[in-house]
Amino acid sequence: MPVRHNEGMDLGLTERVFVVTGGSRGLGLATAATLVSEGAHVILVARDQVGLDSATAKLGGGASAVGIPGDLGDPTTAERVVAAAVARFGRLDGALIGVGGPPAGTVMGTDDDTWRSSFETVFLGSLRVARAAANAMSSHPGDLLGVGGSLVFVLGTSAREVLPGMSPSNGLRPGLGMMVKDLADELGPRGIRVNGLMPGRISTDRVFANDARAGSPEMVRRRNESAIPLGRYGQPEEFGRIASFLLSPTASYVTGSLVPVDGGMLRSF
C-alpha cells in the first residue's frame, strides 16, 4: 500500500529530496517510508532491481520514490545516483548512507581479499556518497537557519563496542565514526550537518541471519533481549523515525554526533 502523508508530525521535509542507500529493505526502506510520509522525495539505491521495484511501489512510485540499482563498491555509483536525484527532482537535501554489513569473521580468520572488498564498499563507498552528496548540496544553500543539508551514516554499535565474530565490522565502523566528526568540522561552514546512527538489534533480515549463525534463533534472541534494557529488539520504523529527524531541518543544531538506537544496549558513552 502506498505510504500516506503523516499528519501527526511535521519535520519540515515537504518537497525535500534525499538519497537513501541500502534503500530496498530493512533500515533504509523504513527511513525512506518515514521521509515519504513527511512529504519528501527519495532516491533508493540497492544492488537488487527486483527489491528496488518492490520498495518503490510500496512508497508510491515515481512521484515520491525512484529506485536506482548500484553497488557502492563501484567508484562510479555515488556520482551517478546523486546526479540522478538532482536531474529528477531538481535539488538534493541529504543522504542516509547505509551499506550492508561486511561478512562475519574473526581478525585471524578473515582473508585479505575480504578485508579489501569490505573496505572498498563499507568505508570508501560510504565516503564517496558523502562527498558526492555534499558537493551537490553546496549549490543549494539552506533555507532554515543556514542549514544546507544533512548526511547521516548508518554505523551500528560496532562503531563503539566490539561485536563478537564481526571483526571486519569492528575494524571499519569506528573509522567511519571518526569520519562523521571530521566531516562535521569540514562541512559545517557550508551549512551541512553530519551525524551517525548506531542501530543495535533491530528486527531486520541481517540481524535474524546473524542470530541463526549463533545457534537456535529463538534462544539467541531471548538471550540477546535479556541484555537490552527495554527487553526487546527494535523495529525498523523506530530507527526510521530517528534517522528522518536527523535528516530534517528540525535537527538544525545537531551535528558531529553518534546516536545509538539500541534500546539502551550500549554500555559505553
Mean pLDDT of 158-177: 90
Max avg pLDDT among 131-145, 178-192, 209-223:
178-192
In this structure, is residue 127 part of a structural domain?
A: yes
Q: Quick one: pLDDT band at residue 145, thresholds 50, 70, 90?
A: very low
Q: What is the pTM of this model?
A: 0.91
In this structure, is residue 221 part of a structural domain?
A: no
User: Which pLDDT score is estimated for 147?
Assistant: 52
User: Which pLDDT score is estimated for 102?
Assistant: 85
In this structure, is residue 162 part of a structural domain?
A: yes
- CA 127-186-115 angle, to 5 degrees, is 25
**How many Cβ atoms are within 10 Å of 74's Cβ, its own excluded?**
14
In this structure, is residue 120 part of a structural domain?
A: yes
Query: How far from chain centre, in Å, is Cα 119?
Result: 17
Nearest alpha-carbon partner for 242 in 188, 196, 176, 207: 196
Task: Count how many domains the chain has.
Answer: 1
Query: Which CATH number belongs to the domain containing residue 28 in this structure?
Result: 3.40.50.720
Higher pLDDT, 7 or 18: 18
Q: Tens of pLDDT along 204-239? A: 888 888 788 778 888 989 998 999 999 999 999 999
In this structure, is residue 174 part of a structural domain?
A: yes
User: Which pLDDT score is estimated for 81?
Assistant: 97
Nearest alpha-carbon partner for 253 in 129, 97, 136, 142: 142
CA distance 148 to 187: 10
Mean pLDDT of 52-63: 92
In this structure, is residue 44 part of a structural domain?
A: yes
Q: Which residues form the domain of 168? A: 17-204+236-261
Q: Quick one: pLDDT band at residue 61, thresholds 50, 70, 90?
A: confident
In this structure, is residue 129 part of a structural domain?
A: yes
Q: Quick one: pLDDT band at residue 267, thresholds 50, 70, 90?
A: confident
Quick one: cell of 40? Answer: 519528501
In this structure, is residue 28 part of a structural domain?
A: yes
